[in-house]
């Protein structure tokens, strides 16, 4: 991700533009033109494989991840590839039909996103596994057991996160699409790593208590999670900032990617063009903030203990407050530095735009967190089904 960047005028000549092919040509680099189609195919496959570890890649998830999501990402990649062909003037005799085809592919990609939303609305991959067992003793009746998989709570929300991800993917150029794919892999890797870290902290907490021997008790729960702390949220916030700059953005007006205003229309449309432009500019912060509930939901399954479900709800809210606190600190710091350096020659080129972007970031992050936490809490069951048996693979 760090290899992709654009430069402000005050960063020259130490900075080299790598987001575009050159400073004078806004076409994507040659390597990006090779990686972009591969990214559109690999990202759904990776998500499908991650959910397959918890046996949640069957049923509606197969339609979602093997057909709809690859179709949306591939059409978005094809649309921006046609835009490169048009800009590079590779086929000057056939440019007349490139613009209508680009509009058709982009519209088709948004159509796939709507189909993904409908599919996820009608079905859910988090249903419990149903099985039977025979009771020993007189009567030998049959007992119905429901068994949930380790990621039963996170899987529906992760698929829900894929919907804004695909929407953002459509309105970003080829170089940014590759960066977004890498950021999605980084998100999955971090939440997997965080589960192990929180479990280790939870298992070591009895050793740090006044009664260390409690760790040897046979009835000690082995799925203990330590509470979410502020340091658990910082990597997600840093990922949002890193993705913002790696997708070709800077805190300057000259770095605004005006091409994205014409993704769905060949001319300026006062209803559609501003929406696609805002989505392009605000997408890294929104995606990172919308993924915050995954920190609390990952590798969790429904439980018959109402107190444990309430603890998961509180962890979602706690994680959201941590992300809000981080960006409010950035806003406060930007305001303080802008005031302190108000007479600096670069004040209106560097510090004041950074303050404006920090204020916009707070609004976008707060909206994404309120929406994400509400959806995450709504999907949590009050209690597990009757006869529920926790999975032996839970939190592994």
> Strands, E, within the chain: which ranges?
129-134, 142-147, 388-389
Q: Are strands 142-147 and 129-134 parallel, antiparallel or unpaired?
A: antiparallel
Based on the structure, what is the number of domains in the chain?
A: 1
Q: Is the peptide bond before 234 cis (omega within 30 degrees of 0)?
A: no
> Would residue 132 count as lying in a domain?
no
> Would residue 217 count as lying in a domain?
no
Q: Which three-class secondary structure state does DSSP give residue 121?
A: helix
What residues make up the domain containing 152? 9-127+144-201+222-389
Listing from the earlier edge strand, what are the strands of the sheet with 129-134? 129-134, 142-147, 388-389
> Would residue 305 count as lying in a domain?
yes
> Would residue 165 count as lying in a domain?
yes
> Would residue 370 count as lying in a domain?
yes
- Scored b (16 or more CB within 10 A) or e, 92-126 reads eeeeeeeeeebbebbbbbbebbebbeebbeeeebb
Chain position carrying tokens 């993917």: 169
What pLDDT shows up at residue 211? Answer: 59
Written as one string, the DSSP assignment of 156-206 is HHHHHHHHHHHHHHHTS-HHHHHHHHHHHHHHHHHHHHHHHHHHHHHHHTG
pTM of the complete model: 0.88
Q: Which three-class secondary structure state does DSSP give residue 77?
A: helix
pLDDT in tens, 109-142: 999 999 999 988 876 554 444 344 444 444 455 5
Cβ neighbors of 342 (< 8 A, separation 6 or more) are: none
d(Cα 396, Cα 394) in Å, to the nearest integer?
5
Task: Name which residue leads in pLDDT, 289 or 207.
Answer: 289
> Would residue 4 count as lying in a domain?
no
What pLDDT shows up at residue 362? Answer: 97
d(Cα 244, Cα 5) in Å, to the nearest integer?
10
Please answer whether residues 326 and 234 qualify as being in contact, where contact means their C-beta atoms are separated by less than 8 angstroms. yes
As a whole number, the mean pLDDT across the chain is 84
> Would residue 148 count as lying in a domain?
yes
Count Cβ atoms below 10 Å from residue 1 Cβ, excluding itself: 16
- Maximum CA extent, the chain: 89
Q: What are phi and psi of 131, to 5 degrees?
A: -145, 175
What Rg, from alpha-carbon coordinates, does the chain have?
24
d(Cα 263, Cα 273) in Å, to the nearest integer?
8
What pLDDT shows up at residue 126? Answer: 47
pLDDT in tens, 284-337: 999 999 999 999 999 887 776 778 888 899 999 999 999 999 999 999 999 999
> Would residue 2 count as lying in a domain?
no
């Amino acid at each position: 991700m760090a290899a992709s960047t654009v430069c402000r005028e005050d960063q020259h000549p130490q900075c080299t533009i790598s987001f575009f092919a050159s400073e004078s040509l806004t076409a994507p680099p040659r390597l990006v033109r090779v990686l972009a189609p591969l990214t559109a195919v690999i990202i759904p496959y990776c998500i499908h494989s991650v959910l397959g570890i918890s046996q949640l890649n069957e049923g509606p998830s197969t339609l979602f991840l093997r057909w709809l999501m690859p179709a949306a990402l591939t059409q978005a990649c094809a649309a921006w590839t046609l835009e490169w062909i048009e800009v590079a003037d590779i086929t000057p005799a056939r440019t007349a039909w490139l613009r209508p085809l680009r509009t058709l592919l982009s519209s088709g990609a948004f159509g796939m996103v709507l189909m993904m939303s409908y599919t996820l609305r009608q079905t859910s991959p988090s249903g419990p596994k149903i099985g039977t067992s025979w009771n020993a003793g007189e009567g030998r009746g049959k007992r119905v057991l429901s068994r949930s998989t380790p990621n039963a709570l996170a899987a529906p929300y992760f698929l829900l996160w894929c919907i804004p991800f695909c929407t953002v993917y459509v309105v970003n150029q080829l170089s940014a699409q590759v960066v977004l794919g890498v950021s999605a892999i980084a998100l999955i890797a971090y939440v997997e790593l965080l589960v192990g870290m929180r479990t280790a902290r939870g298992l070591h907490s009895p050793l740090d208590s006044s009664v260390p021997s409690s760790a040897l008790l046979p009835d000690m729960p082995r799925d203990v999670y330590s509470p979410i702390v502020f340091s658990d949220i910082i990597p997600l916030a840093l990922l949002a900032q890193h993705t913002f700059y790696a997708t070709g953005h800077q805190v300057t007006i000259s770095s605004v990617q005006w091409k994205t205003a014409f993704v769905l229309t060949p001319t300026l449309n006062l209803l559609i063009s501003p929406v696609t432009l805002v989505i392009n500019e605000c997408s890294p912060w929104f995606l990172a903030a919308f993924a915050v509930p995954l920190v609390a939901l990952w590798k969790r399954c429904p439980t018959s203990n109402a107190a444990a479900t309430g603890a998961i709800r509180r962890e979602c809210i706690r994680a959201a407050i941590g992300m809000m606190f981080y960006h409010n600190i950035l806003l406060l710091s930007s305001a303080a530095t802008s005031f302190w350096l108000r007479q600096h020659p670069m004040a209106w080129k560097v510090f004041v735009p950074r303050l404006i972007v920090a204020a916009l970031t707070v609004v976008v992050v707060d909206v994404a967190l309120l929406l994400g936490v509400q959806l995450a809490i709504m999907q949590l069951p009050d209690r597990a089904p009757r006869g529920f048996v926790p999975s032996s693979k839970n939190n592994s």
